[in-house]
Amino acid sequence: MIYQGTARYPVSEIVIHCSATPPGWMKGQSLAAKRAEIRRWHVDQRGWRDIGYHHLIDRDGSTLPGRPETEIGAGVEGHNRGVIHICLVGGAGSTADDPFEKNFAAAQDLALRGLLTEIADRTAVSRVSGHNEYAAKACPGFRVLKWRSRT
């Protein structure tokens, strides 16, 4: 089981996000450089203490951790305790009803499915949702329930 914060909130949900960046954003740069830029947005522009996401997935399917899973994230206002936040790089100009493949790469699909399984093996995940289920936003740029029902 994964617990977050000093109150040890049990992790039971994963929320999926997108970085709202175009497909060629920071082309040729590493995912670590992209993570540093997203962290800068969150820390310098929003005043958060760290990057809001626990994991990032680049267009080539590579993944990197962001904020430690044992820390409460900053992905959905008022809905962060017991939640792991995953961010897909891309999604600029997307709508909430786009198909996954319109804004993201096949490698991201495979990596996201694998990461969901890996996290579920370590904690009791009862819900996987999109940011757009909690806010009037396109993010992550698709309907998570519909995407998950595809095999």
Taking only the tens place, the pLDDT of each residue in 28-49 is 999 999 999 999 999 999 999 9
Q: What is the CA radius of gyration of the chain?
A: 14
- Residues known to be catalytic: 17, 53, 131, 137, 139
- Domain spans of the chain, in order of start: 3-149
Half-sphere exposure of 11 (CA within 13 A, CB side): 25
pLDDT at residue number 15 = 98
**CATH, domain range 3-149:** 3.40.80.10
Residue in 14, 73, 22 with CA at minimum distance from that of residue 49: 73
pLDDT by residue (tens digit) across 123-132?
A: 999 999 999 9
